[in-house]
Amino acid sequence: MKSSYVTKFKRTQYNCGRAQRLAIKRQETKLTPAEYLDYTVHMRYCSLCREFERFSALLNQFFSPKRSEIPEQPMHRLSHEEKEEMQRKIDDFSNHLRK
């Protein structure tokens, strides 16, 4: 039976998607201690994720001044009729695939 520490280490080491999401989150807010541990262990061994983090930081630096130029849009909400129409189209498409 493997130790839970070994399992945790392997899961942390090989989960690039999670590490990349944490890299983005780290640029915007503070990580929890568990997230920070996962992030630092993974980044120590994964050169691709370190490169992703550098590129992401570069994009943030480039687009940061431009964010203030984008007018804030109110969130659009679908009406009950729009939701029903969308569900009908999904159902029709699903039925078409089953045939």
Question: What are the residue boundaries of the structural domains of the chain, listed by start?
Answer: 1-65
| Greater pLDDT, 88 or 63 | 88
State residue 78's pLDDT score: 83
Calculate the alpha carbon distances from 64 to 48, 70, 80, 81 in Å. 24, 11, 37, 38
Distance CA 57, CA 24 (A): 8
Average pLDDT estimate for 61-73: 71
State residue 26's pLDDT score: 92
Q: What is the pTM of this model?
A: 0.52
| Greater pLDDT, 64 or 78 | 78
Q: How many CA atoms lie within 13 A of 44 on its CB side?
A: 9
1-54 pLDDT per residue, tens: 456 655 655 655 568 888 999 999 998 889 999 999 989 989 998 899 999 999
